[in-house]
């Protein structure tokens, strides 16, 4: 520690060495188990809240990224990956082993609201019980599911037969008693504005929302399990494309690439990093264009011209991505150690096509500003609706445009830099409004920033000497990271912090592969925004969260 005592606010931002953290936690620490990305402290399962609130309040770890749970031969384990919103490179992992026969662990929900869903997922898939959890139910699987599919003793041949009372139709539920005059309304799973199969259980008082609860899992495809059954080198990379499938494919692939490359200590050539950066930002534009388009759909109604205009612009980026990767949706373009192939020939044609797109983009963005953001009715609808205060956003682990729309200046591209971002000149867009309007403005601003990044990448790529165009480093055919190495790495996806936790066990497949989906955490904030508002505002708030159910449910 430095000599002059900083006051408490600076105290939180202060970077502490692992030993200082251990000293802070004192007796709470049972053991050390460092991860590649962060020091790891093993604590007793009944001291979770104490430890986490100590770290949150005394050391400033205010961002619970994700809770990864897994089962070992002799124990269960929940890992709380903590970070700081001010500096996400300061990380710490809190490891909570639980008894094999009676896996009970204290819930972190009272300290971090976001732990609610994360622990429900751990309970659902692994089978760890969380004490003091407000609502420990299954979250991804049906309520009647038998067993915990990622537990070791799970019998996958067991028939999933549920008795009739257990299989009560949730759609029959009526929230009515003699006192209240509220109405229960199911929004979804099939509804024009849920952007996929999402089910919102809403309690209405007239048109006002009293309570809303998201019911997710309709699109759960066992992505984590599938990744655990694939080899690091080639078999996992196609899966990330299928999480956030709204053309954010390359951003997702980068999440896996970053985690696996750091795990296996693979270098990526600079040239490949530039191509990655360019491709990823193209994906971001495409994803934000769709977010803008569907938000216009939610607020303006179907048949709005804005929707088609934005889809049109997205189409241009898609063409570029198709030229680059050979695919329109499931790119599978990144490889560990680089990218699969170089820019398309003739290169000049690709460059000029990209430049044409970048030239017309500011005009398009201005047109959207004319069409929607400067429209008085649109402002009436979106300003001061769906309020998400910054403290609440942090408590829920919100990231990406959702957090930045609430003034939380958090962008992993800058704060935990990877790829070629720190060499380029661009800005992080934040808005202070905390409302639906701000979140839209952030996305529109980010489209322009992405265009700046792409332009600089193009300049670099154009002048790159022909004999130094190294698109992949030498990577062994089979990767076998050392036994018991663990890593959590995140990138800035289209929707926020997309992280991957991998535990290696010495084989060529990960022993545990956990996906930290930004949409999963962002969607949790919906009740905070929606309660007390009108139905149209709930729809607008949901649209402004820009969730993709493929990523929420994985």
Q: How many residues sit close enough to another protein to count as binding (CB under 8 A)?
A: 32
Write down the least CB distance from residue 299 to another protein, Å. 5
Nearer to another protein, 16 or 443 (CB): 443
For 262-326, give the DSSP string. HHHT----HHHHHHHHHHHHHHHHHHHHHHHHHHHHHHH-TT-HHHHHHHHHHHHHHHHHHHHHS
**Phi, psi at 379, each rounded to 5°:** -65, -40
| Residue numbers 360-389 binding another protein by CB under 8 A | 371-372, 375, 377-378, 380-381
Nearer to another protein, 212 or 274 (CB): 212
Nearer to another protein, 318 or 450 (CB): 318
Instruction: Out of 304, 473, 485, 507, point to the residue binding another protein (CB under 8 A).
Output: 304
Nearer to another protein, 24 or 371 (CB): 371
Distance CA 442, CA 431 (A): 6
Question: What are the angstrom distances between the C-alpha of 264 and each of 51, 483, 501?
Answer: 31, 11, 13
- The contact mask relative to another protein for 199-228 (x = CB under 8 A, - = no) is --------x---------------------
Token code pair at residue 328: 């329109």
Instruction: Out of 185, 329, 340, 511, point to the residue binding another protein (CB under 8 A).
Output: 185
Does 192 sit near another protein (CB under 8 A)?
yes
Token code pair at residue 460: 């670099």
Does 171 sit near another protein (CB under 8 A)?
no
Strand ranges in 87-182 using DSSP code E only, listed in sequence order: 92-99, 104-106, 129-131
Q: Which stretch binds another protein (CB under 8 A): 221-229, 337-345, 485-493, 528-536?
A: 528-536
Does 444 sit near another protein (CB under 8 A)?
no
| Residue numbers 127-146 binding another protein by CB under 8 A | none
Token code pair at residue 486: 């663990």
Does 539 sit near another protein (CB under 8 A)?
yes
**Phi, psi at 485, each rounded to 5°:** -95, 140
Nearer to another protein, 324 or 365 (CB): 365
Backbone Cα Rg of the chain: 23
Does 300 sit near another protein (CB under 8 A)?
yes
Write down the least CB distance from residue 183 to another protein, Å. 6
Question: What are the angstrom distances between the C-alpha of 305 and each of 297, 308, 371?
Answer: 9, 5, 9
Nearer to another protein, 185 or 392 (CB): 185
Does 473 sit near another protein (CB under 8 A)?
no
For 317-373, give the DSSP string. HHHHHHHHHS-SS----EETTEESS-PPSSHHHHHHHHHHHHHHHHHHHHHHIIIII
Instruction: Out of 12, 36, 42, 183, point to the residue binding another protein (CB under 8 A).
Output: 183
Angle at 499 between CA 493 and CA 503, to 5 degrees: 155
Nearer to another protein, 175 or 452 (CB): 175
Does 252 sit near another protein (CB under 8 A)?
no
Q: Give the strands of the sheet with 199-205, arranged side by side.
A: 183-187, 199-205, 208-215
Q: Kindly list the residues in this chain that would bind another protein in the complex (CB under 8 A).
A: 183, 185, 191-193, 207, 296-305, 307-309, 312, 371-372, 375, 377-378, 380-381, 534-537, 539
């Amino acid at each position: 520690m430095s000599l002059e005592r900083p006051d408490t606010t600076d105290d939180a931002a202060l970077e502490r060495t692992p030993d200082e953290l251990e000293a802070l936690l004192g007796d709470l620490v049972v053991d050390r188990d460092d991860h590649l990305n962060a020091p790891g402290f093993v604590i007793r399962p009944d001291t979770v809240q104490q430890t986490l609130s100590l770290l949150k309040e005394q050391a400033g770890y205010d961002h619970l990224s994700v809770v990864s749970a897994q089962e070992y031969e002799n124990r269960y384990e929940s890992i709380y990956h903590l970070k700081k919103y001010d500096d996400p490179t300061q990380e710490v992992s809190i490891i909570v082993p639980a008894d094999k026969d009676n896996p009970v662990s204290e819930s972190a929900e009272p300290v971090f609201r976001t732990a609610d869903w994360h622990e429900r997922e751990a309970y659902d898939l692994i089978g760890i019980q969380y004490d003091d959890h407000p609502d420990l139910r299954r979250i991804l699987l049906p309520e009647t599911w038998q067993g915990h599919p990622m537990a070791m003793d799970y019998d996958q041949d067991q028939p999933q037969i549920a008795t009739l009372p257990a299989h009560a139709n949730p759609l029959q539920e009526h929230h009515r008693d003699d006192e209240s005059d509220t109405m229960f309304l199911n929004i979804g799973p099939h509804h024009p504005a849920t952007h996929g199969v999402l089910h919102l259980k809403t309690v209405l008082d007239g048109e006002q929302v009293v309570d809303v609860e998201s019911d997710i899992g309709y699109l759960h495809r066992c992505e984590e399990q599938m990744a655990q059954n694939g080899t690091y080198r080639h078999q996992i990379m196609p899966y990330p494309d299928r999480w956030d499938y709204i053309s954010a494919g390359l951003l997702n692939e980068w999440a896996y690439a970053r985690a696996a490359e750091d795990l296996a200590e693979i270098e990526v050539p600079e040239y490949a990093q530039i191509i990655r950066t360019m491709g990823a930002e193209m994906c971001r534009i495409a994803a934000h264009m769709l977010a803008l388009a569907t938000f216009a759909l939610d607020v303006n109604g179907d048949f709005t011209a804005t929707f088609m205009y934005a889809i049109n612009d997205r189409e241009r980026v898609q063409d570029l991505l198709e030229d680059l990767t050979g695919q329109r949706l499931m790119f599978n373009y990144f490889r560990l150690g680089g990218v699969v192939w170089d820019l398309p020939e003739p290169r000049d044609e690709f460059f000029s096509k990209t430049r044409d797109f970048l030239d017309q983009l500011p005009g398009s963005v201005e047109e959207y500003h004319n069409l929607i953001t400067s429209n008085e009715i649109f402002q009436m609808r979106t300003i001061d609706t769906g309020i998400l205060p910054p403290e609440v956003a942090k408590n829920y682990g919100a990231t990406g445009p959702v957090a930045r729309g609430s003034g939380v200046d958090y962008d992993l591209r800058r704060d935990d830099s990877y790829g070629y971002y720190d060499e380029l000149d661009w800005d992080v867009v934040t808005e202070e409004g905390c409302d639906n309007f701000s979140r839209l403005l952030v996305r529109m601003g980010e489209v322009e920033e992405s265009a700046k990044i792409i332009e600089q990448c193009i300049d670099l790529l154009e002048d790159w000497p022909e004999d130094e165009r190294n698109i992949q480093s030498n990577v062994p055919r089979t990767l076998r990271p050392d036994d018991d190495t663990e890593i959590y790495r995140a990138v800035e996806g289209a929707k926020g912090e997309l992280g991957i936790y991998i535990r290696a066990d010495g084989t060529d497949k990960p022993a545990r592969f956990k996906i930290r989906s930004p949409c999963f955490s962002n969607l949790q904030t919906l009740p905070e925004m929606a309660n007390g508002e009108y139905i149209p505002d709930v729809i607008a708030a949901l649209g402004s969260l820009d969730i993709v159910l493929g990523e929420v449910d994985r």
